[in-house]
Structure 1
Amino acid sequence: MVTLAQLRDAALGGLDRAVVEWTDLAAALDGLVGRATTGVGGPLRASRWEGADADAAARGLAARGEQVMVAAQEARCVLTVLDTAADQLRNAQRDLWAGLAEAAAAGFTVFEDGRMEPADPTHRADVAMISRRHELEQLLAAPVRKATEVDTHCAETLARLYPTGTADWADTAADGTCVMALAGLDLATIPRGDPVAAAKWWAGLNPSERAMYLAGYPAVLGAMDGLPTEIRDRANRVALAEAKAALIAELAAARAKRDAAGRTDDAKWRLRVTALKERLAAIEGLEATLRSGDDLYLMGFSAKGDGRAIVAIGNPDTAAHTAVYVPGTGASLAKVGKDVQRVRRLLIATERYTKPGEVSAIAWLSYDAPDTLVHALSSSDAEAGASKLKYFLRGVGVAQGVSSQRHITVIGHSYGSVVIGEAAKSNGGIYARDIIVAGSPGTHVSKAGDLNLPGNHVWVTLAEGDPVSTLGSGAHAPAVKEKGIWNRVTPDDRSFGANRMSAEGAHGHSEYWDGEHPDSLDNQAAVIAGRYEEVNLLWGSRP
């Protein structure tokens, strides 16, 4: 129990220094994870070392990295508790000091044990003084009682943060929830849906406050457009690990229920187990993708539904040229590795025109893509994804510095071009200088200029034998009457007014990023780098 004298004389600067030290420790641990990835993981991958020993080394490095990530997150939890204690104890101490000053002004002497007597002995039997003493005793008891509560709650919370020695993300997630409740940090205070407001809010936080929000709300911060990419990556990797831990626990519970179920419910639980295993495999696939390079940033993640992921190669915050690739029908978290491979090829091709570090390429799977061609005939997924894409692109621009006017190119494949069309034709358009569509069934406009960009900054490529432009036009290409005949105008039509690029060598719907057929890949790279004179045009006009 805290005493009046202890609270009165408490030197709370020590707690403030401890908060700073734990903040520095969390940052150092984050840096250690990064150095392990680049300093150890990078050379291991570059060495082309293969076999059982190589696999064991990779697993060991991943496990150690995960332990350090847990330690960093727990350090953020500790500093949140300490900061809460310092803040609340300081408030209690101020109230006590104010009460002591009021008691002295009223003519009372306050003793070390909290007892109070009139300074003038002749007033001890005075009824008014007795009543006033009672009031002041209550006034002084309140901050002491509050300090005791704070001390008890903070001590109990610190005790539960004791490390387990293993990377227990379920425990870490529970710790984060606990410390947020203790600190009283309200989720409603975090601005969402406005990248500019999000960036301003983040910039106004001090390092300890940022660490506290990372401790309690990693999934929220990871999804916030406008925040620095490195912060989103850090938050999303924690959110990914916590989601995986929760999914493993859910799978174990489902298996137990399946094993205990009778014949009536057995099929239901078998299906549930299968679905959970597929979701876990998708998350593990994303983890493997993130381990495949030391230049990858996880800018978005969600385990809901088919899953969502935004993976950047290179940091877009510092890139002079950024490509954002939007996949189409069938895209899901389970297949995100394929999308990252495509943007990797784009980045490598673009770097032929730029200096090292000037390019970032992003696989943007942050919408519910249609599962089948039948589902792709609907525009509902594109309409839902369009606003998300707009906010994301705006967030990239905000993180880069809106006044910088850096070069952003958005690339849509198949149904992804429908998403881009919905976003670009809406009020204000999208924050991008160029749009590229490949194998597009339509963009819901009949003229390139209706995408809120000059027509010569809209680029289209269509490979030989790609049927999607024809098959999907009835759903996504507007009908235009020309010379008394109604026709569906897709982006590859000359009348659309876009620049038509060559896709020579590519065939079908999926070879636009195939390194064996470089014409399509090289043309896209030239647009991304702003080297428009290098594009092999079939028709159109270069910017």
Structure 2
Amino acid sequence: MVTLAQLRDAALGGLDRAVVEWTDLAAALDGLVGRATTGVGGPLRASRWEGADADAAARGLAARGEQVMVAAQEARCVLTVLDTAADQLRNAQRDLWAGLAEAAAAGFTVFEDGRMEPADPTSRADAAMISRRHELEQLLAAPVRKATEVDTHCAETLARLYPTGTADWADTAADGTCVMALAGLDLATIPRGDPVAAAKWWAGLNPSERAMYLAGYPAVLGAMDGLPTEIRDRANRVALAEAKAGLIAELAAARAKRDAAGRTDDAKWRLRVTALKERLAAIEGLEATLRSGDDLYLMGFSAKGDGRAIVAIGNPDTAAHTAVYVPGTGAGLARIGSHVSRMRSLWLAARQESRSGGVSTITWIGYDAPDTLAHAISTSSANEAAPAFVRFLRGVGVTQGISSNNHVTVIGHSYGSVVVGQAAHYSGGLVAQDVVVVGSPGLHATKAEDLHISPKHVWVGAAEGDLVTSIGAGAHAPISENAKVHRRVTPDDKEFGANRFTSDGSSGHSEYWSTSDPMSLDNQAAIITGNYKDVRLIWGERP
């Protein structure tokens, strides 16, 4: 129990220093994870080492990285508890000091044990003084009682943060929820849906406050457009690990119920187990993708449904040229590796093409893409994706400096181009300098200018044998406005008015980023780096 004298004389600066030290420790641990990735993982990947020993080394490195990430998250939990204790104890101490000053002004002496007597002995029997003493005793008791409650709750919370010795993300998630409840940090105070407001809010937090929000709300911060990419990456990797831990626990419970179920319910639980295994495999695929390079940033993540992920190669906050790629039908966590691989090829080609500044290529699976071609006939997925995509692009602009936004290019493939088209019509439109669509079934527009961007900056690729550009036109390409020609207009039509670049060497619907015959790839690299004169056109007019 905290005494009046202890609270009155408490030197709370020590707690403040501890908060700073734990904040620095969390940051140092975050840096250690990064150094392990670049300093150890990078050379391992570059060595092309293969075989059982190489796999074991990779697993060992990943396991150590997990442990350090857990330690960083737990350090943030500890500093949240200490900061809460310092803040609430300081408030209680101020209230006590104010009460002591009021007691002295009223003519009372307050003793170390909290007893109170009138300074004038002759007034001890005075009824008014007795009443006043009782009132002041209650006034002084309240902050002491509050300090005792704070001390007890914070001590109990710190005790539950004791490390388990393993990378237990389920425990870490529970710890985060616990410390947020203790700190009283309200989720409603976090501005979401407005990248400018989010950036301003984050800039106004001190390092300890930022660490506290990372401790309690990693998934929320990871999804906030307008926050620095490195912060989103750190938060989303924690959210990913916690989601995986939750799925593992859910899978274990489902297996137990399957094994215990009678024949009537057995099929139901077998299906549940299969579905959970598929979701877990998709998450593990994303983890493998993130381990494939030391320059990848996880800008968005969700395990719901087919899963969503936004992965950047190179930091877009500092890149001179940024490409944001939207894949189409079937996109989800299960196929994230192949989509990021396409953007890796484009990133490498663009780096060769770029004459100034860095390059970032982003795979944006921030929407629930259609699962099949039958579902892709509808625009509902694109309509739902459009506001999220526009908000993401605005966030990219905010982190780059919205008044001097760097060169941003949007790339839509297949149904992803439908998303781009709907986003162009959404309030505010596309925050981008160039738009590229390949294998597009249509943009719900008959003219490039309908995208609210100069037709000189709209680029189209259509490979030989790509049937989507013709088959999909019935759902997403409007009828020509030319009264003499009643047909549907896809972006690769000359009438559309865009620049159509050559894609020789690519065939079918999925080879626009082929490295074996890279004409389409090289053209896109020239576009996203602003080297328009290097783009080989079939028709159109360069900027």
TM-score by length of structure 1 reads: 0.99
Give the equivalent residue in structure 1 for 2:478.
478
Give the equivalent residue in structure 2 for 1:212.
212
Q: Which amino acid aligns with 2:206?
A: N
Report the CA distance between 1:484 and its aligned residue.
3.6
Give the equivalent residue in structure 1 for 2:149.
149
Tell me how far apart the structure 2 counterparts of residues 426 and 239 of structure 1 sit (CA, whole Å): 30
User: 1:248-327 alignment to 2 at 5 Å?
Assistant: 248-327=248-327
Report the CA distance between 1:59 and its aligned residue.
0.6
Matched, 1:198 2:195: no
The alignment yields a C-alpha RMSD, in angstroms, of 0.8
Q: Which amino acid aligns with 2:436?
A: I
User: 1:56-205 alignment to 2 at 5 Å?
Assistant: 56-205=56-205
Q: Which amino acid aligns with 1:478?
A: P
Report the CA distance between 1:480 and its aligned residue.
2.0
User: 1:527-542 alignment to 2 at 5 Å?
Assistant: 527-542=527-542
- Give the SS at the match of 1:352: helix
Report the CA distance between 1:355 and its aligned residue.
5.2
TM-score by length of structure 2 reads: 0.99
Tell me how far apart the structure 1 counterparts of residues 101 and 108 of structure 2 sit (CA, whole Å): 10
**Residues 196, 226 of structure 2: 8 Å contact kept:** yes
Q: Which amino acid aligns with 2:520?
A: S
Tell me how far apart the structure 2 counterparts of residues 458 and 263 of structure 1 sit (CA, whole Å): 59
Give the equivalent residue in structure 2 for 1:11.
11
**Residues 442, 476 of structure 1: 8 Å contact kept:** yes
| Structure 1 alignment gaps of length 5 or more | none
Tell me how far apart the structure 2 counterparts of residues 476 and 134 of structure 1 sit (CA, whole Å): 79
Aligned CA distance change for structure 1 residues 355 and 21 (closer, same or farther; 3 Å):
farther
Tell me how far apart the structure 1 counterparts of residues 493 and 517 of structure 2 sit (CA, whole Å): 23
Tell me how far apart the structure 2 counterparts of residues 490 and 468 of structure 1 sit (CA, whole Å): 10
Q: Which amino acid aligns with 1:320?
A: A
User: 1:439-458 alignment to 2 at 5 Å?
Assistant: 439-458=439-458
CA deviations over 1:397-440 (Å, ceiling 9, x no partner): 10011122310000000000000000012232111000000000
User: 1:473-512 alignment to 2 at 5 Å?
Assistant: 473-512=473-512
Give the equivalent residue in structure 1 for 2:431.
431
**Residues 314, 357 of structure 1: 8 Å contact kept:** no
Give the equivalent residue in structure 1 for 2:392.
392
Q: Among all aligned residue pairs of Structure 1 and Structure 2, give the percentage whose two residues are the same amino acid.
A: 82
Tell me how far apart the structure 2 counterparts of residues 428 and 304 of structure 1 sit (CA, whole Å): 28
User: 1:330-341 alignment to 2 at 5 Å?
Assistant: 330-341=330-341
Q: Which amino acid aligns with 1:528?
A: I
**Residues 448, 498 of structure 1: 8 Å contact kept:** yes
Tell me how far apart the structure 1 counterparts of residues 135 and 428 of structure 2 sit (CA, whole Å): 63
Bigger mean CA offset, 154-163 vs 470-479? 470-479
Give the equivalent residue in structure 2 for 1:523.
523
Q: Which amino acid aligns with 2:505?
A: G
**Residues 428, 452 of structure 1: 8 Å contact kept:** no
Tell me how far apart the structure 2 counterparts of residues 525 and 354 of structure 1 sit (CA, whole Å): 8
Tell me how far apart the structure 2 counterparts of residues 221 and 253 of structure 1 sit (CA, whole Å): 30
Report the CA distance between 1:486 and its aligned residue.
1.7
Report the CA distance between 1:482 and its aligned residue.
2.5
Tell me how far apart the structure 1 counterparts of residues 392 and 517 of structure 2 sit (CA, whole Å): 31
Tell me how far apart the structure 1 counterparts of residues 452 and 211 of structure 2 sit (CA, whole Å): 40
Aligned CA distance change for structure 1 residues 291 and 355 (closer, same or farther; 3 Å):
farther
Q: Which amino acid aligns with 2:174?
A: A
**Residues 425, 445 of structure 1: 8 Å contact kept:** no
Bigger mean CA offset, 452-461 vs 479-488? 479-488
CA deviations over 1:354-378 (Å, ceiling 9, x no partner): 2586100001001000000000000
User: 1:20-35 alignment to 2 at 5 Å?
Assistant: 20-35=20-35
Q: Which amino acid aligns with 1:361?
A: T
Tell me how far apart the structure 1 counterparts of residues 165 and 356 of structure 2 sit (CA, whole Å): 40
Tell me how far apart the structure 1 counterparts of residues 251 and 270 of structure 2 sit (CA, whole Å): 11
Tell me how far apart the structure 1 counterparts of residues 136 and 48 of structure 2 sit (CA, whole Å): 76
Q: Which amino acid aligns with 1:406?
A: N
Report the CA distance between 1:521 and its aligned residue.
0.5
Q: Which amino acid aligns with 2:39?
A: G
Tell me how far apart the structure 1 counterparts of residues 356 and 328 of structure 2 sit (CA, whole Å): 30
- Give the SS at the match of 2:310: strand
Report the CA distance between 1:455 and its aligned residue.
0.4
| Structure 2 alignment gaps of length 5 or more | none
Bigger mean CA offset, 301-310 vs 400-409? 400-409
Tell me how far apart the structure 2 counterparts of residues 419 and 34 of structure 1 sit (CA, whole Å): 34
Give the equivalent residue in structure 2 for 1:354.
354
Q: Which amino acid aligns with 2:438?
A: A
**Residues 285, 334 of structure 1: 8 Å contact kept:** yes
Residue correspondences, number = 543
Give the equivalent residue in structure 2 for 1:342.
342
- Give the SS at the match of 1:482: coil
- Give the SS at the match of 1:500: strand
Tell me how far apart the structure 1 counterparts of residues 38 and 165 of structure 2 sit (CA, whole Å): 24
- Give the SS at the match of 1:317: coil
- Give the SS at the match of 1:324: strand
Q: Which amino acid aligns with 1:493?
A: D
Bigger mean CA offset, 400-409 vs 161-170? 400-409
Report the CA distance between 1:487 and its aligned residue.
1.2
Bigger mean CA offset, 399-408 vs 524-533? 399-408
